[in-house]
Chain A
């Protein structure tokens, strides 16, 4: 595959850009694969890429029921950060952030990773205590964090509501400067191109509809495009995990819920960072095209529909207006939903399963986009070695049985509360 470079761009410009090769193949599926990854979102593609690159396994298929990147990868608000407190999450997400910092050059594809900074606002004294504790924990873990007071925030983000008579005055915030956003489609496309060039077969329009087992092993993966023999199988299907697991009678500590996101009409540059509200659930950033990209809570009830409901839209917008009153005259041009794999403690499950050759990558809740490269890195390691990487050891499925939750919010076993 041709490497993208400045010389390539100039050369192709002479032919009116008619001679670019396609970025990845559309291969006829083989009969048998050493590893089958189900789901060509960012996680499935990153896992295949690192399996090929770091572990030398090349006979890999990634099966996708629709088009690659059409799931949550292509539907999310693209916030990338590593501001976690518990050890199991903190080191994993920090590894992922470090991989993001290299990803464009690693893939030879611009994923438009923009470290514009992520700021979490605090509105009460107890919230200041909480973000101070979080920031200190992050710094002890070697992760960047800065506590800002109201004055400093006013300078960075003059559009926030700083008046004193508001219900939730801004008292301070926790800033992670290395956090930011990335271009979601580019992440899927860049990973697909890089995995494909290492020989990975990406098979689209290929829905997995069942499995055949011998002993405690999956031997055949049944799909809408025929049956494949398999060595090992990895699930990376986000909100569809519950359904896929039910095809092999596996019950998981996961519920599927719909999360909506919104884009406004394009504006001149206004919001330079990612900002989150502390008194309600609301997060916002501005895309390179000028649209404000924002979101809030899930719709709260189990759902496999990629569409949400109106009361939640009202709730999200109310929180947004409390934080940035000038949004009130803005028009929303698009909104959509994605199906989230909400886990029982709010943290991901990435590791082995009760079936010998099946590996699970799920439970990402709202936050799996930022995990994309890290998830691929440790999932590839887990599949190749049949044991977890040190970074995902604590994120296993057994933790629920043993009572070792990784619950950042302390919200308990209620998936819609995380």
Chain B
């Protein structure tokens, strides 16, 4: 079981959460054709890193908030959690993005 430290509810089993996915994707500003590439990137392309991954989980069986999690995809170790707007990488000073 992964233990996710929800910023509002405290440490909880991951079975209480629904996995949302990559937290680094930003929705493009508008949807005119000039932005096709940005939409392609947003909807379909993923860094899919082997190592540190910033991801969103929804606390479906708790506060229902979205929680940002910094997790290692190779070891499943959770390094930090926060609210979606938090930059967890910056918080964890000295941490390299690649493993």
Contacts and interface: CB of A to CB of B under 8 A. Distances in A.
Interface residues of B, number: 27
25 contacts: A240-B50, A242-B50, A243-B50, A246-B47, A246-B49, A246-B50, A251-B47, A252-B46, A252-B48, A253-B46, A254-B46, A254-B48, A255-B21, A255-B46, A301-B14, A302-B21, A302-B22, A302-B73, A305-B74, A309-B14, A311-B15, A401-B36, A401-B44, A413-B43, A413-B44
Interface in A391-412: 400-401
Interface string B52-69: 010101000000000000
Nearest to A400: B44
A360 B44 CA distance: 17
Nearest to B57: A301
Contacts of B76: 303, 305, 309
A274 B99 CA distance: 41
Q: Which of B21, B36, B48, B53 has the most CB of A within 10 A?
A: B48
Nearest to B40: A401
A344 B41 CA distance: 12
Contacts of B53: 302
A319 B73 CA distance: 27
Nearest to B51: A304
Contacts of A251: 41, 45-47
Contacts of B44: 253, 344, 400-401, 413
Interface in A241-282: 242-243, 246, 251-256
A305 B50 CA distance: 9
Interface in B1-38: 1-2, 13-15, 19, 21-22, 36
Interface in A201-257: 240, 242-243, 246, 251-256
B45 A253 contact: yes
Main secondary structure of the interface of B (DSSP, over half): mixed
A335 B45 CA distance: 32
Nearest to B37: A401
A254 B55 CA distance: 15
Contacts of B55: 301-302
B19 A300 contact: yes
Given A242-B50, A413-B43, A413-B44, 5 more contacts: A242-B46, A251-B46, A252-B45, A311-B1, A415-B46
A242 B19 contact: no
Central interface residue in A254, A301, A303, by most chain B CB within 10 Å: A301
Given A255-B21, A311-B1, A401-B40, A242 B15 contact: no
A401 B15 CA distance: 34
Contacts of A415: 46
Nearest to A308: B76
A344 B40 CA distance: 11
A159 interface: no
Contacts of A72: none
Contacts of A301: 2, 14, 19, 55, 57, 71
A254 B21 CA distance: 12
Nearest to A240: B50
A414 interface: yes
Interface in A353-376: none
B48 A309 contact: no
A2 interface: no
B48 to A, nearest CB: 3
Contacts of A256: 48, 50, 73
A400 B46 contact: no
Nearest to B48: A242
A240 B53 CA distance: 15
A343 to B, nearest CB: 9
A400 B50 contact: no
Interface string A273-314: 000000000000000000000000000111111000111000
A373 to B, nearest CB: 27
A416 interface: yes
A253 B40 CA distance: 9
A305 B75 contact: yes
